[in-house]
Structure 1
Amino acid sequence: FLWQEGHTVHETEAEARAEAKLILDLYERFVREHLAIPVFTGEKSESERFPGAVQTLSIEAMVQDRKAIQAGTSHFLGQNFARASGIQFQNREGKQEFGWTTSWGMTTRLIGTLVMMHGDDDGIVLPPRIAPTQIVILPIMPKEETRAAVLEACDKLAEGLGEARYVDLPIAVEIDRREIGGGVKNWEWIKKGVPLRIEIGPRDLEKYSVDISRRDQPVKEKQPMQMKEFIVRAPEILTSIQQNLYDRAKKFADANTRVIGSKDEFYDFFTPKNAAKPEIHGGFALAHWNGSREVEEQIKNDLKVTIRVIPLGDSEPGRCIFTGEASQRRVVWAKSY
């Protein structure tokens, strides 16, 4: 079990609330820019709030079965934990005062989100910005007499790529020199999700070219390219893969997020057509809610659907689709892990 966690103590309530929001924004940016995953951000309802917190902020991602995953949280704890733990400081007037605290973290759950959002039937698909190996070079050596020449070409390619930079860092390149079948070797890297696989064989030496396979495209697709051109274009191709993964995930999330205006439509959206063997259904629903915990519990019991976040920022007043009572804003509902 892996996790990243932080705790802070502040002089004022405003400073602590600002810190909690700062971390929420940082998490959203990291997940969007590095993991290529779009998320909804906002506040948890009282029933979904971290025990003891005054406010829980969350990022919520949709994965390929249209369920939500709480991918990171940031909590404003008020003075509750400071009082329980005796966390005090001397204020500007020289008096003892309880601090205002925050707590925030991401866990292994985020790794699962990454796998479930981008993965396919052939294995995981890693965005280039977080891939430990961004380019793997696969020597094709069917005959012993061409082995040395092929490996020399692979070394030269790796050396050339070593001088290139992607997001202002050296590109992570690996040459797979193992003495195993080329097909087996290729599939191992496909399953590992490495963004770019580069094959070099005797025929490629004659043309000074390489065969390029992108993990964000069908695994059998290959694009020939001159070696010198590939060295120049490698950062651009990695950028293209990163953006394509995000665009694909955003298109999927948008296609399965619906603004819902009635209780019947809501129940239909979250009810599978085949009760015996439920198909993939639902997604994220944006619907008005009157703030009632009783309504929230009823929906959870009926459909196993919960409020994932209450979006921050400008609101759109309306009427609760379940009771007809006044509602300050639409909230995000979904089935979740």
Structure 2
Amino acid sequence: IYAIGVGSLQVDWKELNNLGSKKDGERHAFILKDVQALSQVFEHMLDISQLTDPICGVGNMSANASAQERTPWHVTIKPKSQETCRGALISDQWVLTAAHCLSNAEDRTLWRVSVGDPNFQGSKEFQIEKAEISPGFNVFSKKNQGIPEFYGDDIALLKLTQKVKMSTHARPICLPCTVGANLALRRLPGSTCRDHEKELLNQVSIPAHFVALNGDKLNINLKTGSEWTNCVKVVSKDKTTFPNLTDVREVVTDQFLCSGTQGDDSPCKGESGGAVFLERRLRFFQVGLVSWGLYNPCGSSSKNSRKPAPHGKVPRDFHINLFRLQPWLRQHLEGILNFVPL
């Protein structure tokens, strides 16, 4: 129990202190100058640095938090002599990312996964013990149909050689359809994966986020239903990328979430594999992962200098929908994460 006195009234400290709980090393009574000071108290009350268990989806949203503390699940995947990719911690030893980040990997013993804030002492690089790549992923599988690249089943899991020590800079995101996500959503036991999808993807345009190369949290709107159809149909107009495309669903299947309409940020190369996530009940849930797009706003630069699409080029971005790859996720993560019924 916390006891808080606010304003210029004469507050009896002894009485206030008696109302609050008594625990060693913790403070439960406060006298504040004004209501604005309440935010400082809440930061003290909700100090996530004390969380040592891998509780999912907890980010520090205080004004003084670093970019990594705001999205502590975010990791950088460093292949040998290739562009970096991004990924998300989904447990204390597993990272979720895009399959195309690993498709050309010859020797994964040379790869590293950077966890935590590089500007903070607790940052650490991990080796990869094993990689699980969806067997359905083959970027050239539709080349004979005139589709130069196809990103269906663009999903992979990496097991790190060691467990990650939980901190304000390193913590897993909540994966939908798991017991951890069910608790974070405050749903009753017995809730299903379908219930999670209805709650998290419950509008035709859903505000969501991804993490930029510089660690900033950028904004997108995920399209579903009729808005999804409108979002993806511009792909057939991109004759530079798909000169012979007759059916947009040959490229953009229902495995993909769509973003990139007016006002959205667009991911750059190097941000592939990162989490597409949204906030509910002060917790964060990964509903997708960055896969591919029609326009790279960073061009040849890797400095996160995003530029708007030139005239005639319509940006669209596509993200693997984790609700559509549940069987594969359950096959490889059962026993690592506890899943709710489909």
TM-score interval, normalised by the smaller of the two chains: under 0.3
Higher Cα radius of gyration? 1
Q: Please, what TM-score do these two structures have when normalized by structure 2?
A: 0.22
TM-score calculated relative to the size of structure 1:
0.22
